[in-house]
Amino acid sequence: MQTSITNSTTRYGWGTIILHWLIALIFIGQFALGFVMVRLTSQRTAFELIQLHKSFGFLLLGLIILRIAWRLGNAAPALPRSVGILERRAAPLAHFALYAFQLALPLSGWALVSVSMLEIPSLPFNLFIMPNLPLAESDGAESFWAAAHWYLAYAGMALVAVHVAAALRHHFQLRDGVLTRMITPLSGDSAE
Amino acid sequence: MFARILGFAAVAACLATPVSAAVALGDAAGSYSISPANSSIHFSIGKVGGGGLNGTFARFKGSIRIDNSDVGRSQVNFTIFPESVGTGQGRIDAFLRSDAVFDAANSPEIQFRSTGVTRTSDTTALVTGRLTARGKTFPEKFTAELGGLKAGTIKFHVTGKVLRSRYGMDVGTPIYSNVVDFDMMLTGKRG
């Protein structure tokens, strides 16, 4: 069998599969972390979790840029022939929107950190200083980006829920290979 | 701070020429209380990438007793009320007052009690003592520089570095330095 790092027209390669699940894990974990960190009574724990959230946010930003580059440089496997015209048109839009949210969320968080009057530096995983975006600090700008980050997070999670529901429908109801081909390249042939 | 005060007193005493030393010492000797209106306590904590967190304590009290025969036996006691911390940013002040840092509700006082004063130059002295914050006590030292002595008023410029991690206040490291730089201008009035 040929190397299965890259995609082919019939299956996803390991590059796509690993990036997909790694990003999925961080993306959902970031939502949970963000939800919890702003509801804690311990300001110390809140501070530490916010720094962790920032660290994973920058990691996510790097991974999603890699993911998009990988997507643009790789073939995308075709949908099974059984997929109807409506879903055939909706799926790429949904996937485009997912990429957009994955980019917008860390960027809006970065903007929020950059404009905050608290001026807390970003030191991802205590490894290096991440500079701020060149945006003016103000309480108004901080409120704006906090709200934007919040709405993007909930809308993004709603889209993830739709994405997961669609994948589960393909696996359990339609019984095609749309979900399994994102788990291992070996199931690619069955996607047709 | 106390140390600084003691140091100042010691310095003041030492500044006098040999022939008038006894008189100068006698002039400086005595008990002083810190006048908050004419004093300030500033602190600074560096952060990665440059800059730092700067703040002040608005409320504090203290006393200086300068021994007229042995400056080394002088005594400085100082109390800071961390509830009065101010950085110009309300959210940071609330964070500092919370149990993340000072826990001002349960530990309303930060205390310094000097254990020794050593003259280091004509106008400076090293004040050693025990600093207590959040129930933890460690030896600390401050440098005191005499700023003036006249008409029952003594002024000291006190500086020193304190490691906040020792007092259970290490939150934010390494983004924010563990070292807190203190810079105090203290005015004592005899009485």
β-strands B75-80, B60-66 pairing: antiparallel
| Residues A123, B48: C-beta atoms closer than 8 Å | yes
Quote the DSSP letter at residue A144.
H
Model ipTM value: 0.87
Residue A123 and residue B89: Cβ atoms within 8 Å?
no
Average per-residue pLDDT for chain B: 87
Q: Where are the domains of chain A?
A: 14-191
- Which pLDDT score is estimated for B74? 85
- Taking the Cβ of residue B92 and every Cβ of chain A, the question of whether any pair is shorter than 8 Å is answered with yes
Q: What is the pLDDT, as a whole number, of residue A140?
A: 98
Q: Is the pLDDT reported for residue A191 higher than 50?
A: no
**What does the pLDDT read at residue B20?**
34
For tokens 């980019």, what's the residue?
Answer: A103
State the pairing for strand pair B52-57/B85-86: antiparallel
CATH code 3.20.20.210 for B2-190: no
Q: Which of A10-14, A135-139, B41-45, B146-150 has the lowest mean pLDDT?
A: B146-150
Distance, CA of B16 to CA of B21 (rounded, Å): 5
Alpha carbons A64 and A144: distance in angstroms, whole number: 24
pTM of the prediction? Answer: 0.88
Give how far Cα B23 sits from Cα of B13, B123, B149, Å: 9, 17, 13
pLDDT(B70) > 80: no
Least confident of A169-178, B38-47, B90-99, B108-117: A169-178
Q: What is the mean pLDDT of chain A?
A: 93
pLDDT at A190 over 50: no
Contacts of B103 in chain A (CB under 8 A): none
Residue from A44, A125, A138 whose CB has the most chain B CBs within 10 Å, to mutate: A44
Task: Fill in the amino acid letter for B121.
Answer: S
Q: Give the B window 145-174 contacts with A, CB below 8 Å.
A: 171-172, 174
What pLDDT is attached to residue B14? 46
- Res. B160: pLDDT tops 70: yes
Give the Å distances, CA to CA, from A88 to A30, A78, A81, A185. Answer: 30, 10, 10, 22
Phi, psi of B96 (to 5 degrees): -65, -35
Q: Which CATH number describes the domain made up of A14-191?
A: 1.20.950
